[in-house]
Structure 1
Amino acid sequence: MTVPSSAPHRVAVLVRHGVLPMELGLVHQLFGSARSARGEPLYSVVTCALTPGMIRTDADFPIRADHGPRALAEADTVLVPASHEEDESYADGLPPALAAALDRIPSGTRIASICTGAFVLAAHGLLDGRSATTHWLSTDHFARTFPAVRVEPEVLYVDGGRVLTSAGEAAGVDLCLHMIRCDFGAAVAADVARRTVVPPHREGGQAQYIPRPVAEPGGSSTSAARAWALSRLEQPLTLRELADREAMSVRTFSRRFREETGLTPMQWLGRQRLARARQLLEETDHTVDRVAAESGFGTAASLRQHFQAALGVSPRAYRVTFRGPGAPGEGRRP
């Protein structure tokens, strides 16, 4: 988490002809809504283009960008939304003006793409040897065009450190909230999500598109079992107990559950418990032992194992990241 300073974090959004208005708008809405405890803006967001002026969108109205490429040199974060007119034509490299604009970005600046904006980053070599994602409809073409990039076709977003990529428009919301969360903590990101009326956090590794059958009206569902499980995550829960809540056999319940969620019941339960543990680490002063008990992992050792497997960090490191080094309880062993 970055330490807030008196100057807002500068975000530059590079738009090109064919930009999707939703992608441009979500960046301004989310970063523009982030406020400090004193109500001060934490970000300043500007829209820039290769040549300032009117830019075509993929809708029936244009937008005006008053800033040129100089804004990229002055930014702390650069966002590249998609252009349906240009992105998938970059197999032979970027147009010189676009490449020159990207060359103005300082080496320490964070760069992120939304949807097929990843084609821009890849064509400029920024994703070579890295993992990345883009819209699921374009991942095959992306992988063929840029073999040096490790494509993750199903995830919502990939945080590669300095360079981040996301899937379609809605996944851009998840990526922006993730960056806000990393910059200023979970409480600020949750406040932005509440203002925007979107979920405060979805895992980057969550599937961006899973074809699922639509349940027939009046047909069986597993929603009651899920609600029941969420109200007692701290308790040991079995597949048999979950199936009994819906009066189904274990086999039928498991099949229906996977159709509705894309996960097995135990995979889903593990994710819910991990989300509960993260919430407790962010919002309470509980010891890690208590967090483990209240989230259903039982012991601190089990919680550490699941955290390391899912997030690559310990509960203590997670708490420090999202609450700062002075977070209560940091004198305790995680």
Structure 2
Amino acid sequence: MADIVIDNLVKVYPGSTERANDSISMHIADGEFMVLLGPSGCGKTTLLRQIAGLELPTSGGIAVGGRDITYLPVHQRNLSMVFQSYAVFPHRRVRHNIAFGLKMRKLPQAEIDQKVAWAADLLQLGPYLDRFPAQLSGGQRQRVAVARAIVVDADVLLMDEPLSNLDALLRLSFRSELKRIVGQLGTTTVYVTHDQSEALSLGDSVAVMRAGKISQLGGPLEIYNHPADTFVGGFIGSPPMNFLDGTLTPGGISIAGHLVDAPPGAPGQGAVRIGIRAESLVVHPDPAAGRVPAEVLVVEPLGAATLLTAQVGQSQVKVQVPAESTVTAGQAIHLELPPRAVRLFDPETGLTWTLS
């Protein structure tokens, strides 16, 4: 078993009073792909580096497979890591880069050759084994870094934004390749990224972090569809979740003076913040009960769909419509908010309201 248990982990850097990690606890199951997601400075890389042993916690504990590794040196943790930079040796050929960790462990040469051939085949590096890194593309160099990490039979694979230095198309193709590779290996993986598309597509579970804490931990679809607060809703999704201020009444929700249906189980009455995804809003040309008038400000064709920016009262919302839509800037439209797509948040705390 190579599960990871993080117990009440706190990290405070010397000379600082702020907690880079603040009482973080989580359990990462054996073979699980866990993504740490959040904006710059939220503490995700700090947490990864403590698992790796590159930094030590101020308090709390870390165990892998039931073994306490909190204060063990790096070489005793049996972990492997892929960094944001390619971190390959420029003076070594690809085969020697991949074999580096195996040689450090003093494995027999025959076993090293067998493992290098296996990793090269898995990552489609066979034709490049005798090349130097300077003769490879950025994506190929990153595959070399991944190959070097997976050949050592580590308990846990750690990845710190490994795709961020690749261009958009290469990042997309390598992302699916990485998911295939990690799926075949079945290795417990902790992956750091600020890219929510990467997090949703790669992770079995996603931990959304903010200011050193975990705002929400769950499956990708759970976090996308049921954000725990307005921060998570506004961070996850492209475009992010729309938020509108409204008032709960016995007859529904009043938004900009217009009444729409409330989601089933909406509690009480009073001020509320409404969250709804761009793809959930339905555009109508004509007014009707339960629709909110809006004015289209911007039309952005995206190929597969068209994204509208619309003014609703004092707020702007993003609306996704089919690519063949004929809506134009300046046009008056009427928005339907399907009740089951609406999420309700406390306007003061930003926390989601649990509906009965």
Larger Rg: 2
Q: Which has the higher strand share?
A: 2
Same fold (TM over 0.5): no
Say which structure is richer in helix. Answer: 1
Q: TM-score, normalised by structure 2?
A: 0.29
